């Protein structure tokens, strides 16, 4: 699956747009990590626990978006956007969405994307 | 270019697991966590507090001028009598030499008595008025002095402080979990009450050679609740054992140890009733 | 004690009513999505060049609150960490509902496509509902209507 936040695939022609696909994931870290991060917060610096949390979450959301794209028969997702929102204290949602498209697989006949 | 909407199948962005399953697993885990934490912190806090020397406890208690809030000075005769009984009981219970019991009289209709830090006993008029004889009064004082002897006030404080700190740092559902933790703490204090009851019985036996009049104390509490139409809380949620259980434990202990349940009751002195008029 | 009972009651009520509402919402979502399926919603910024189009901004938004049961489970989950499953359906529903509302608006204008769809999610819980998250999802895009 090709994922891009451009609106076309360079050198490949988009045959068909199949609509919106999206993936989301809500995660929380355990209280121990929350407390440790709270302490660290006082001194500044990177909160590794949360970096990890958001990274895992983002991977899962992307995975889910790809699953949706596969299910509708797409071979690429274009114009992908991420958004993060805090749903409740300590839990964050990662949301990713894009357009599922079918692009031509043969590169020899490639033209500039329309 | 062709544009078309294809609906992705359901269930990619949501989990199929039944929500109740997650709920029950999490709840059980959380309760277990809280239970263990409270137990560890409670027992640990109580144990640590119990290690505090008695002289240090007395110093802490001396920081507050308790006599200011009591009505002991109004009834010197009564106060002297209560204090002499307390001294007699202290001797019978073999209190450590640096543990001093001070009885305080409170002129209030509350039916209550309690022991606090530094061996200070507070006895309310409401309860004294209802006592039929000296034996019952000795049971009451014996029970409260036993709390002091086993250092229950300072231990409770120690438990409360540690558990309280832990609870206040908890997040989201701390309130609910705090309640669950409280149930664990209540269990500790019930054990303390039972220990104090036992000691009070022993005191009665030592001083009078029988335990008659002891169970009467709990009957008074029970009647009072009846008259107030207040239901006794279920044992799980109460700091004290059930009244009936405590009355029964007197009979049981008497049987076990071969103590007499009947005997001569010592009347209260004449000035006792007059003091309340 | 009273608080424990109250919580239990709220959790039970939240579970049954929340579940019923969610099932109903999903049924209606699926039904309406089918009806509006003919109108493509595209997250791309490049419109089709085959004909001149009239364009206008369309949007749809929805505010959904979580039931007590879900909030309770999420609170517990916060203690142990991991996937907060109870919020997944909430957000899924909110997003699909927002897209549907946007589509309805576009359809009213007789649009052929909705392009450049974007989402905005915000937590609008107030001071008194910190434990019960309220989420707003706003979907917006450009409706394209072929000029005959």
Cβ proximity of A12 and A103 under 8 Å: yes
Across the interface, of A22, A31, A33, the residue whose CB is closest to C95 is A22
Going by pLDDT thresholds of 50, 70 and 90, the confidence category of residue B213 is: confident
Nearest CA of chain A to the CA of B19: how many Å? 15
* C-beta of residue B89 within 8 angstroms of C-beta of residue B203: yes
**Residues sharing a CB contact under 8 Å with residue B71, sequence separation 6 or more, in sequence order:** B105, B106, B107
User: Which two tokens mark A106?
Assistant: 């043969």
Q: CA nearest A82 in C: which residue? A: C119
The Cα–Cα gap between B231 and B168 comes to 31
Smallest CA–CA distance, residue A4 to chain C, in Å, is 11
Closest Cα in chain B, distance from residue C114 (Å): 11
* pLDDT beyond 60 at B173: no
Reference C106, options C117, C92, C96; nearest CA is: C117
Strand segments (E) across chain C: 53-65, 81-83, 113-123, 134-146
Highest mean pLDDT among B3-7, B184-188, C60-64, C103-107: C103-107
Mean pLDDT of C15-20: 90
CA distance B70 to B106: 5
Residue C76 has its nearest CB partner, among B7, B14, B30, at B30
Q: Which of B8, B37, B165, B167 to mutate to test the interface with A (most CBs of A within 10 A)?
A: B8
Q: Where are the domains of chain C?
A: 2-146
Q: What is the mean pLDDT of residues A31-46?
A: 72
Residue B258 has pLDDT above 80, yes or no: yes
Residue C44's closest chain B neighbor by CA?
Answer: B3
Residue B175 pLDDT class (50, 70, 90 cuts): low
* Domains defined for chain A, CATH in brackets: 2-103 (3.30.110.70)
- At residue B259's C-alpha, the angle toward residues B253 and B265, to 5°, is 110
Instruction: Report the run of H or E that residue A48 belongs to, with start and end.
Output: helix A48-71
Average pLDDT over residues B99-128: 86
CB-based contact, A111 to chain C, within 8 Å = no
Residue at token pair 């104090």: B196
Per the prediction, chain B carries an average pLDDT of: 81
| pLDDT at residue B222 greater than cutoff 50 | yes
Looking at the complex, does the CB of residue A58 fall below 8 Å from at least one CB of chain C?
A: no
Q: Which of chain C's residues have a Cβ under 8 Å away from the Cβ of B27?
A: 76
- Tokens, residue C3: 């608080």
Residue bearing the bigger pLDDT, B107 or C132 = B107
pLDDT band at C51 (very low <50, low <70, confident <90, very high): confident
- Please count the residue pairs, one from chain A and one from chain B, whose beta carbons lie less than 8 angstroms apart: 50
Sign, CA dihedral B218-B219-B224-B228, equals positive
| Alpha helix ranges (H) inside B209-242 | 216-227
* Rounded Cα–Cα distance for residues C48 and C62 (Å): 29
Q: Crossing angle, helix B243-257 and helix B216-227, to 10 degrees?
A: 170
State whether C91 and A89 contact (CB < 8 Å): no
Percent helix / strand / coil, chain B, rounded to 5: 65, 5, 30
C27 touches chain B (CB under 8 A): no
Residue C61 phi, psi dihedral angles, 5° rounding: -140, 160
* pLDDT (mean) for B135-142: 91
Structure confidence at residue C24 (pLDDT): 93
**Most confident stretch, A63-67, A106-110, B162-166, C73-77:** A63-67
Q: Does B187 score more than 60 pLDDT?
A: no
C131 at interface of B, judged by CB pairs closer than 8 A: yes
In DSSP terms, B104 is beta-bridged to: B122
Q: Judge whether C76 is closer than 8 Å to chain B, CB to CB.
A: yes
Q: Do C117 and A85 touch (CB under 8 A)?
A: no
Q: What is the pLDDT of residue C140?
A: 92
3-state secondary structure of B238: coil
Confidence label for B178 from pLDDT (cuts 50, 70 and 90): low
- Domain C2-146 class in CATH: alpha beta
Under 8 Å between Cβ of C95 and C117: no
Beginning with the edge strand found earlier in the chain, give each strand of the sheet holding B102-106 in spatial order: B102-106, B120-124, B113-116
């Amino acid at each position: 699956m090709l994922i891009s936040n451009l609106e076309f695939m360079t050198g490949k022609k988009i045959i068909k747009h199949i609509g919106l696909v999206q993936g989301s994931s809500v995660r929380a870290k355990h209280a121990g990590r929350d407390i440790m991060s709270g302490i660290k917060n006082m001194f500044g610096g990177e909160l590794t626990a949360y970096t990890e949390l958001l990274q895992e979450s983002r991977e899962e959301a992307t995975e889910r978006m790809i699953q949706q794209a596969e299910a509708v028969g797409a071979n690429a997702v274009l114009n992908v956007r991420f958004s993060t929102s805090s749903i409740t204290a300590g839990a964050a949602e990662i949301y990713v969405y894009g357009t599922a498209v079918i692009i031509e697989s043969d590169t020899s006949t490639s033209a500039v994307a329309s | 270019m062709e544009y078309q909407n294809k609906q992705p199948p359901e269930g990619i962005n949501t989990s199929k697991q039944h929500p109740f399953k997650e709920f029950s697993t999490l709840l059980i885990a959380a309760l277990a966590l809280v239970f263990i934490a409270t137990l560890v912190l409670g027992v640990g806090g109580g144990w640590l507090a119990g290690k505090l020397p008695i002289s240090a406890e007395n110093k802490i208690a001396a920081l507050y001028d308790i006599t200011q809030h009591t009505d002991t000075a109004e009834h010197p005769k009564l106060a002297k009598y209560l204090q002499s009984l307390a001294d007699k009981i202290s001797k019978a219970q073999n209190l450590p030499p640096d543990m001093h019991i001070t009885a305080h009289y409170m002129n209030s209709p509350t039916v209550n008595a309690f022991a606090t830090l530094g061996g200070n006993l507070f006895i309310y008029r409401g309860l004294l008025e209802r006592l039929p004889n000296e034996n019952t009064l000795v049971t009451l004082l014996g029970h409260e002095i036993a709390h002091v002897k086993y250092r229950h006030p300072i231990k409770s404080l120690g438990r409360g402080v540690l558990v309280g700190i832990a609870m206040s740092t908890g997040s989201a559902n701390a309130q609910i979990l705090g309640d669950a933790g409280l149930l664990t703490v209540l269990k500790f204090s019930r054990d303390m009450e039972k220990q104090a009851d036992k000691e009070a019985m022993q005191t009665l036996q030592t001083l009078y050679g029988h335990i008659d009049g002891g169970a009467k104390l709990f009957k008074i509490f029970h009647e009072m609740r009846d008259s107030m139409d207040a239901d006794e809380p279920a044992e799980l949620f109460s700091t004290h054992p059930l009244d009936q259980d405590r009355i029964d434990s007197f009979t049981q202990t008497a049987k076990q140890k071969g103590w007499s349940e009947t005997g001569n009751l010592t009347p209260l002195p004449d000035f006792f009733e007059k003091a309340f008029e | 004690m009273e608080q424990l009972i109250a919580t239990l009651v709220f959790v039970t009520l939240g579970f049954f009513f929340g579940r019923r509402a969610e099932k109903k919402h999903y049924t209606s979502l699926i039904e309406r999505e089918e009806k509006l399926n003919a109108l493509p919603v595209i997250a791309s910024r490049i419109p089709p060049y085959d004909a001149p189009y009239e364009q206008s901004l369309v949007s749809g938004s929805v505010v959904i609150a979580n039931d007590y049961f879900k909030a309770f489970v999420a609170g517990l989950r916060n203690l142990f960490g991991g996937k907060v499953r109870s919020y997944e359906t909430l957000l899924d529903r909110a997003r699909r509902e927002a897209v549907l509302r946007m589509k309805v608006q576009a359809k009213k204008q007789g649009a052929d496509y909705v392009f450049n769809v974007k989402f905005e999610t915000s937590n609008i819980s107030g001071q008194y509902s910190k434990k019960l998250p309220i989420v707003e999802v706003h979907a917006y895009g450009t409706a394209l209507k072929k000029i005959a």
